[in-house]
Structure 1
């Protein structure tokens, strides 16, 4: 799979799993994405896809590298609709 396609799938999954915050952006925690069965089947490297989406300014979150367990409560915010 190419990165562009995986980022597009990531946007869809954030919309599916997330909630809309006060500013109208979809938001989901890393733990929700990481532990979701559908996401586990789609993304071979979820962290890599998140980093690519962050570099393209499609999502934002605190930190550079998210680790399962330690960063489960980190909010991932979708910057575009």
Structure 2
């Protein structure tokens, strides 16, 4: 799977597990994403995929590197998709 495909799957998983905010963005805690069985099976390197999505400005979170346990309560905010 290439990076773009993996980032696309991450978007779907955040939408599945997260909560839609009034502005149309979706938020999920890192711990929920990290501990989800489906995500564990889909993403070999979840943190790397999150970093790739952040670099592409598809989502945001505080900090540079997220670690399981320490950063479980960090919000990952998936930006609302741009409509054409």
* TM-score tier after normalising by the smaller chain length: over 0.9
Deviations 1:17-61 (A, max 9, x none): 000123221110100000000000000000000000000000100
Q: Secondary structure at the match of 1:41?
A: helix
- Matched with 1:4 is 4
- In the superposition, the TM-score normalised over structure 1's length comes to 0.96
RMSD: 0.7
Structure 1 residues not aligned, in runs of 5+: none
Asked which structure has the greater CA Rg, the reply is 2
Structure 2 residues not aligned, in runs of 5+: none
Task: List structure 1 segments (4+ residues) > 2 angstroms apart after TM superposition.
Answer: none
Q: What number of residue pairs does the alignment pair up?
A: 81
- Distance in 1 between residues matched to 2:74 and 2:22, nearest whole Å: 17
